[in-house]
Structure 1
Amino acid sequence: MTQAAMPQVLIVDDDRAMRASLVALLEAAGWRVEAVSRASRVAETLVTFAADVILSDVRMPGMSGLDLLATLQEAFNPPVVLISAHGDIPMAVKAIQDGAYSFVEKPCEPRRLLTILRHAADQHRMRRDTASLRRRLTQISGLDRMLLGQTPGIADLREQVLDVADSDAAVLLVGETGTGKERVARALHDLGRNPAGPFLALNCATLQPAVFEAEFFGVEGGQVGKLLAAEGGTLFLDEIGACPLPVQSKLLRVIEDKQVTPLGATRPVPLSFRVVSATNEDPDAAQSDGRLRPDFLFRVNTFVLALPTLRQRRADLALLMTHFLEEFASVYETVVPELTQDDMAALLAHDWPGNVRELRNVAERRILSARRGGGSVAAAMHKDHELDDVPDTLREAVAAFERELIGKAIRAHAGRMDAVAEALGIGRRTLNEKIVKLGLDKGALL
């Protein structure tokens, strides 16, 4: 374990033998330890020793452990675990009420003490790291905010975007579903030569060959072609591997000639736009399979930018999750829930097949759960694996959701229906009607 990774504890105890015993125990368990004999020395020690947790005796000459606790109420001071041979229930209750993380009586079982200290230190480090991430989020702007992350893969992508943004050359974005290809396309547009111009996004998988020319080139004396909306800006072609071959040939002609001829017209209409394309598959494989015309691919891949998956940038998980939680907390007007050690473990254990888009959805579900006073990241992630259980109709889905939500509220408030109605934001009469309509059995829920 590196020194930076070692948990750090500050021991405060006037008993020299006890201090020596605790130092030996904690150093043997892999902790960095500082020890002082007086609580009055804690403030000066914390200036040079960034303790993750303070283990303090209660009864000491001068400033007691409870007095020390009262001086350490600022948000980012380390948690305090109090230890005393004179402890009793009232003292323990008061200590917890005053903000102590935990209270342990001497003599204490070493394993239990180490567990309490480890949990306290982990919680403090998580809170401190989250605060650091929030400070970083308030400082970044522009491309750093659009393509958020600190890992080499995303940093390299930002550099490539800056390199090619001020160019009219075509760019092909290659990345798995959910890696943010449209966001990169918009970054290229916003940093390009005409950010005030239009940004026209087309999903190539939905383009129909039979009506493509009429819809996108226009009809003389009739409808205006949609491609004209890209004049002076950026044309974003998403999912080019799913583009019908006849449409590819027509798009190729437009890209090469920089003009379109509406149906029934004799004179072409000049067009000027930058082409940015995207695909979630290997473009060379799509070409080999005959799904992507070689000449079309040649026209759209002057520059190729590869987008990293979320699996390749796990170190960005905390930063991204914090960003999305704050974004949705603002949208839903609620408090940002703290990322716990269990939350981070759940984030790191997942493979993220849906990449950043999946993470964003998890963050939104976490915020919605937080509004109801509960939830966790693991629970929010679990929703992704319940798609097979979604009812066939919207009415059934709404009923299933209401049934689950009301059931949880009844259990959470131990059947107190006034509290349940208040938590759900509905009237008591409406709640009763829904319980009857949904066939809920209050007794079975409790």
Structure 2
Amino acid sequence: MSEQLQFSILIVDDDKAMRQSLIDLMEAAGWRVEAVSRANRVASMLSEFAPDVILSDVRMPGMSGLDLLASLDLPMSPPLVLISAHGDIPMAVQAIQDGAYSFVEKPCEPRRLLTILRNAAQQYRMSQSNSRLKEQLVRLSGLDRVLIGQSGDIQNLRQDILELADIQAAVLIQGETGTGKEVVARALHTLGPNVDGPFLAINCAMLSAETFEAEMFGISGGKDGRLLAASGGTLFLDEICSCPIPVQAQLLRVIENKRILPVGASTPIPVDFRVISASNEDVNEAVATRKLRQDLLFRINTFVLTVPALRLRRDDIMLLMTHFLDEFSKVYDCPAPVMQPDDIAMLMAHDWPGNVRELRSVAERRVLAERRGNSSMARAINTEQMIEGVPNTLREAVAALERELISKAIQLHEGRMDAAAEALGIGRRTLNEKIVKLGLDKDSLL
């Protein structure tokens, strides 16, 4: 990479010949250069040009180089290197004490000047990078609330998410069912540059080769395809190994060409989205058994993140349970249950085959049972002894529980559907689908 791509400089000198000489020197070294003849123009140039370093003469009409130094917001501004034919040691010392990066006397040896300016620019870039990292760490506090845990694996995962969020390359998320792969995908989207764009989650196991083109690409002169709605944001391909092979071929073409062709159309439509995929299966084994195309895998696994199973991070179980008990106590408007030693022992003894999703459900059952005045963690974990009076069939029981949970969440959040969906741990689109399926009347709940 050339220095022209790396560094930029703003030159301030009232001497036209000297100014041009410095411009020629810096451009020959590959720098981007802007120059002004008066120091009072620097303030506007800082926002317009955003240089990595300022090189300024000291003695100029109006605002001098020393006045310019005093006017800068030093912690935020680029470093200032002063250059003068009239310098003396006391002035140089004072200038550096006042915050100048360096002081150079004219005439100066070009190689030495370039070294000073390069070092100043590198230091500024590093400080900017550190400031940006601090901003990301502030945002990461939100990630802590979403991806909860203090175990080493989770801390490393959070750091990986932070580092990959701004990179538009494809990410494959691996982990068992219920570990929180979609949570990781949403965190990558939320912390990335496309946060204002859409996040489209597609369950690949539900895709059909017969309807894929119409549903995903759209129909010319009719309804837009779902993939067009993801443009400018993130496309999340969940359960990628369960995607029908013919559909995999079509997805591969879209990812490679970044274009879709609606049914009946003759002109492709460009799309631009980041691809994040997830699998609860071994992708290499899926390739070996021809469940997953190898060329598609190569397109989606630029970076691979692994979400650890809950049984492998037992130190996080209590933290997670406390969080979910508090969450559901707010949803159901009741005090959070106080865990007894027997409850804690039961939590730590369980293997959690359903991972965080199972633990969250246990917390919800524990809170619901607490309202009835007869509960323990053992009963909440043992689904055979869940709640008296539930329907006999699993389908009816699930529907009844979902109906109650969704109704409570909508009431608690006063009809704010995004907030209700977040509290329930599902996407807004999924919530809308469940409301229709369960026959709920949102208006009657408010």
Amino acid at match of 1:269: I
State the match for 2:56 in structure 1.
Answer: none
State the match for 1:370 in structure 2.
Answer: 370
Q: Report how far residue 340 of structure 1 moved.
A: 1.1
State the match for 2:208 in structure 1.
Answer: 208
Q: Report how far residue 323 of structure 1 moved.
A: 0.1
Q: Report how far residue 395 of structure 1 moved.
A: 6.6
Give SS of 1:237's match: strand
Give SS of 2:172's match: strand
State the match for 1:250 in structure 2.
Answer: 250
State the match for 1:391 in structure 2.
Answer: 392
Retained in 2: the 8 A contact 1:181–1:278? yes
Retained in 1: the 8 A contact 2:199–2:236? yes
Q: Report how far residue 386 of structure 1 moved.
A: 7.9
Amino acid at match of 1:198: P
Distance 1:350 1:274 in 2: 38
Distance 1:396 1:322, change over 3 A: closer
Amino acid at match of 2:289: D
State the match for 2:219 in structure 1.
Answer: 219
TM-score, normalised by the number of residues in structure 2 = 0.56
Distance 1:196 1:321, change over 3 A: same
Give SS of 2:345's match: helix
Distance 1:197 1:397 in 2: 33
State the match for 1:278 in structure 2.
Answer: 278
Structure 1, unmatched stretches of 5+, are 1-139, 400-446
- 1:34-61 residue CA offsets vs partner (Å, 9 max, x unmatched): xxxxxxxxxxxxxxxxxxxxxxxxxxxx
Amino acid at match of 1:234: T
State the match for 2:179 in structure 1.
Answer: 179
Distance 2:225 2:162 in 1: 32
Q: Report how far residue 394 of structure 1 moved.
A: 6.1
Q: Report how far residue 264 of structure 1 moved.
A: 1.2
State the match for 2:155 in structure 1.
Answer: 155
State the match for 2:310 in structure 1.
Answer: 310
Give SS of 1:357's match: helix
Distance 1:398 1:246 in 2: 34
Retained in 2: the 8 A contact 1:225–1:262? yes
- 1:334-353 residue CA offsets vs partner (Å, 9 max, x unmatched): 00111111011000100000
Distance 2:397 2:303 in 1: 48
Amino acid at match of 1:143: L
Give SS of 1:305's match: strand
Distance 1:236 1:384 in 2: 35
State the match for 1:294 in structure 2.
Answer: 294
Retained in 1: the 8 A contact 2:239–2:279? yes
Amino acid at match of 1:204: C
Give SS of 1:196's match: coil
Q: Report how far residue 398 of structure 1 moved.
A: 9.4
Amino acid at match of 1:315: D
Distance 1:305 1:352 in 2: 21
Alignment of 1:72-87 (within 5 A): none
Retained in 2: the 8 A contact 1:248–1:296? yes
Retained in 1: the 8 A contact 2:365–2:386? no
Amino acid at match of 2:314: R
Distance 1:304 1:396 in 2: 37
Alignment of 1:97-116 (within 5 A): none
Distance 1:146 1:254, change over 3 A: same
Distance 2:191 2:153 in 1: 20
Amino acid at match of 1:311: R
Q: Report how far residue 143 of structure 1 moved.
A: 1.0
Give SS of 1:158's match: helix
Q: Report how far residue 372 of structure 1 moved.
A: 1.3
Q: Report how far residue 153 of structure 1 moved.
A: 0.8
- 1:158-204 residue CA offsets vs partner (Å, 9 max, x unmatched): 01101111011000000000000000000000001111110000000
Structure 2, unmatched stretches of 5+, are 1-139, 401-446
TM-score, normalised by the number of residues in structure 1 = 0.56
* Count of equivalent residues: 261
State the match for 1:192 in structure 2.
Answer: 192
Retained in 1: the 8 A contact 2:380–2:386? no
Alignment of 1:9-48 (within 5 A): none
Distance 1:323 1:301 in 2: 32
Distance 1:249 1:398, change over 3 A: closer
Identity %, equivalent residues:
58
Distance 2:258 2:397 in 1: 50
Distance 1:201 1:397 in 2: 23
Distance 2:397 2:256 in 1: 51
State the match for 2:17 in structure 1.
Answer: none
Q: Report how far residue 213 of structure 1 moved.
A: 0.4
Q: Report how far residue 141 of structure 1 moved.
A: 3.3
Q: Report how far residue 391 of structure 1 moved.
A: 3.0
Distance 2:202 2:259 in 1: 18
Retained in 2: the 8 A contact 1:391–1:397? no
Give SS of 1:141's match: helix
Distance 1:179 1:393, change over 3 A: closer
Q: Report how far residue 263 of structure 1 moved.
A: 1.1
Q: Report how far residue 266 of structure 1 moved.
A: 1.1
State the match for 1:328 in structure 2.
Answer: 328
Q: Report how far residue 374 of structure 1 moved.
A: 2.3
Give SS of 2:202's match: strand
